[in-house]
Structure 1
Amino acid sequence: MNAETPIPHRARRPAAPLAGTIAVPGDKSISHRALMFAGLAIGETRITGLLEGEDVLRTAAAMRALGAEVARLDDGAWLVAGPGLGALRSPDDVLDMGNSGTAARLLCGILASHDIFAVMTGDASLRRRPMRRVIEPLAATGAGFAARPGGRLPLAVTGAAEPLPLSYRLPVASAQVKSALLLAGLNARGVTEIEEPEPTRDHSENMLRHFGASIDIHTQGTGRLIRLRGQPELRAADIVVPGDPSSAAFPIVAALLIPGSRITIEGVGLNKLRTGLFATLREMGADITVINAREAAGEKVGDLIVAASALRGVDVPADRAPSMIDEYPILAIACAFARGPSRLRGLAELRVKESDRLAATTDMLRANGASVAIEGDDLVIVGGANRLGGGLVTTQMDHRLAMSALVLGLAADAPVTIDDARFIDTSFPGFIPLMRSLGADIAAEGAPA
């Protein structure tokens, strides 16, 4: 089969409840950052639990091309030996970031503040995504950028020989933009200041402290002021990557929706700026219990016990979006099965994800009989109004949309088919076998049941 040949899959309601104990792959956001910060530090950092999805492997390859030693060990851990802050070299070839907007945007911050030249590209989906939101503030470091109209990849970066510190207020809350600016500020003499209008995931700040950087964070109105002192000596520091809460979302919602289900997910990251979905599901009546809470490399971790629950509609405030921005497609599935109406507010950011996730989520639900509408930047879903399922979902190369549609099929009255499952591995390698291990009925289209 040609590598470009789509691989359709279908999901249907299983004959028995989901049951079992699983661990989801490592947190994608933390995995990207672990490789980047370790590649800027002096010494050897051992990373355990790294997500080995395609997106993260692209980051590993990019850091290797920039002069860091990056290797996977026989025991599954990764070893990164960085040349030290400011010591990266120009890559010999174009950096292909695949489907990863996080990797591309964060890497812009590293490239902008090093005296090197590099060109980045990506797959068709990534080349459609806007990079101007990082290019414009990073230009103030003294770096030069050349991109296609709209700031789209391919992107050529000429890093600043003497990068300037930044003082920038984010117009829209974005952990990716914030992290890119912090990465640039690391190699600039002086203090970089970033204001965010509301708190976003703080993995970069936690990791900066873990590697020895001087960073101060102050509450400012509804947001935060972050001050980073540049040119620290980052020291190698081992990292244990927790399970990704964005990946855990899919088996969680499946277990909530399939009657009689009860599963345990071990070692999930519980950073309070990443658990908006868990809070929302609990407001809907979800039975989710945390046990064995602990801390690893500055991040809160715990095991989750999830039991099937009768969900009710919910009104999700816009200010919760930064803590669950990647989880809205799977939350929309939960809302479609809940009793009564739900309104998910302030979802403008979904329009610039791997696909226009706001439109794509709406299309997915409509194709499967749900009552759904977009009102401005809000998504309105009336749960329990119709029989669900039976549709074909066009995934648009979006891994989260594909997994959400498969979960829909597991709970629906009729099977749901997705046009292509290949892109799931960008964030959740082994998703389908893992779900099958719990009892899910997911198979390649045309395969025997």
Structure 2
Amino acid sequence: MPADLLLIENQSKKPFRGRFFVPGDKSIGQRALIFAAMAEGESVINGVSNAADCLSVVNVLRQLGASIEIKDNRIATVTGWGAKGPAQVDEPLDCGNSGACMRFIAGLLAASSGVYVLIGDESLSKRPMDRLAAVLEKFGAKVECLGKNNCAPLRVTGCFHKDNLEWAKEHNAIKDNCVEIETKSASAQLKTAALLAALSMGNLKLTLTEPLKSRDHSEIMLRKLGFKVK
């Protein structure tokens, strides 16, 4: 039996009754935290996982200006930066071991006016990020892979950075407030990075085509938040 598997056996003749808490899915939790950080005002998220990947997102969002308080019962209260956008920071944004954190944060920073460096642990630094860079280039963001073989760390220069305006104008694929992206492989993380970039841009329509349908956590959540996603 795996070391982390808890087996509960009811040896009583009486009915087994009780309540227990099941932690939330870390992938959904990461998305919820990021959407809340981008929003105006205060959001409350129930059941946030205490997995390391979620905590990496929390730490990065705090660096970028969001106020996040997580209680022992896994309820997170998030006050977002709203229309003013994420803060410019000089320190690297440490994504730990979370590839999702790195891709999602790069996506939301694509439409910023700043320059950010995203780092990770040894394992994350061995994962190629060139597909992410290609997707975010469609929005005019410059994503440079600073590691070997197109791997992290990443330097993200937002499309509205004063020194990136000409580059963004030449490389973005935005026409009439619309951008079309076709990915070569199905990836919920790349799709979410593109969605976050589109949200950060404001009044922008995104059409993303995948060869196969990837997980739709982000789409379901955005519909709940009032966005039109189909």
Aligned to 2:184: 171
C-alpha displacement at 1:181, in angstroms? 0.5
The answer (yes or no) to whether the contact 2:56–2:95 under 8 Å persists in 1 is yes
Aligned to 1:149: 148
Aligned to 2:42: 44
Structure-2 change in CA distance of 1:85 and 1:180 (3 Å): farther
Structure-2 change in CA distance of 1:168 and 1:86 (3 Å): farther
C-alpha displacement at 1:190, in angstroms? 2.6
- 2:216 pairs, out of 175, 182, 202, with 202
Structure-2 change in CA distance of 1:85 and 1:32 (3 Å): farther
Aligned to 2:157: 158
Aligned amino acid, residue 141 of structure 1 = F
Query: Per the alignment, in what secondary structure is the counterpart of residue 153 of structure 2?
Result: strand
Aligned to 2:198: 185
The answer (yes or no) to whether the contact 1:65–1:92 under 8 Å persists in 2 is no
Between Structure 1 and Structure 2, how many residues are aligned? 204
Q: After superposition, what is the alpha-carbon deviation per residue over 1:388-419, rounded to whole angstroms, capped at 9, x for unaligned?
A: xxxxxxxxxxxxxxxxxxxxxxxxxxxxxxxx
Task: Quote the sequence identity (%).
Answer: 37
Asked if residue 72 in structure 1 is aligned to residue 70 in structure 2, the reply is yes
C-alpha displacement at 1:183, in angstroms? 0.6
The answer (yes or no) to whether the contact 1:108–1:180 under 8 Å persists in 2 is yes
Structure-2 change in CA distance of 1:151 and 1:74 (3 Å): same
Equivalent-residue separation in structure 2 for 1:40 and 1:47 (angstroms)? 14
Asked if residue 213 in structure 1 is aligned to residue 205 in structure 2, the reply is no
Q: After superposition, what is the alpha-carbon deviation per residue over 1:202-261, rounded to whole angstroms, capped at 9, x for unaligned?
A: 11111112222232x1xxxxxxxxxxxxxxxxxxxxxxxxxxxxxxxxxxxxxxxxxxxx
The answer (yes or no) to whether the contact 2:111–2:158 under 8 Å persists in 1 is yes
Query: Per the alignment, in what secondary structure is the counterpart of residue 187 of structure 1?
Result: helix
Aligned to 1:34: 32
Of the structure 1 ranges 142-151 and 61-70, higher mean CA displacement relative to structure 2 is found in: 142-151
The answer (yes or no) to whether the contact 2:142–2:158 under 8 Å persists in 1 is yes
1:358-377 matched pairs, under 5 angstroms = none
1:288-307 matched pairs, under 5 angstroms = none
Equivalent-residue separation in structure 2 for 1:19 and 1:103 (angstroms)? 38
1:343-358 matched pairs, under 5 angstroms = none
The answer (yes or no) to whether the contact 1:142–1:160 under 8 Å persists in 2 is yes
Structure-2 change in CA distance of 1:75 and 1:18 (3 Å): closer
Aligned to 2:16: none
Query: Per the alignment, in what secondary structure is the counterpart of residue 153 of structure 1?
Result: coil
Structure-2 change in CA distance of 1:58 and 1:149 (3 Å): same
C-alpha displacement at 1:132, in angstroms? 1.1
Equivalent-residue separation in structure 1 for 2:142 and 2:51 (angstroms)? 31
Query: Per the alignment, in what secondary structure is the counterpart of residue 80 of structure 2?
Result: strand
Aligned to 1:375: none
Equivalent-residue separation in structure 1 for 2:86 and 2:103 (angstroms)? 18
Aligned to 1:129: 127
Aligned amino acid, residue 157 of structure 1 = V
Structure-2 change in CA distance of 1:197 and 1:42 (3 Å): same
Point out the structure with max Rg over C-alpha: 1
C-alpha displacement at 1:74, in angstroms? 5.5
Of the structure 1 ranges 85-94 and 185-194, higher mean CA displacement relative to structure 2 is found in: 85-94
Equivalent-residue separation in structure 2 for 1:128 and 1:85 (angstroms)? 35
> Mind listing any 5+ residue stretches in structure 2 that lack a counterpart?
11-18, 169-173
Aligned to 1:57: 55
Query: Per the alignment, in what secondary structure is the counterpart of residue 141 of structure 1?
Result: coil
Aligned to 2:118: 120
Equivalent-residue separation in structure 2 for 1:104 and 1:25 (angstroms)? 22
Query: Per the alignment, in what secondary structure is the counterpart of residue 26 of structure 1?
Result: coil
Equivalent-residue separation in structure 2 for 1:181 and 1:110 (angstroms)? 8
C-alpha displacement at 1:11, in angstroms? 5.2
Equivalent-residue separation in structure 2 for 1:19 and 1:74 (angstroms)? 27
The answer (yes or no) to whether the contact 1:86–1:187 under 8 Å persists in 2 is no
Aligned amino acid, residue 148 of structure 2 = P
- Cα RMSD for the two superposed structures: 2.3
Larger RCO (CA within 8 A; separation ≥ 6): 1
The answer (yes or no) to whether the contact 2:36–2:78 under 8 Å persists in 1 is yes
C-alpha displacement at 1:85, in angstroms? 4.5
Query: Per the alignment, in what secondary structure is the counterpart of residue 119 of structure 1?
Result: strand
C-alpha displacement at 1:38, in angstroms? 0.3
Would you tell me which structure has more strand in proportion to its own residues?
A: 1
TM-score (norm 1): 0.43
> Mind listing any 5+ residue stretches in structure 1 that lack a counterpart?
1-9, 218-449
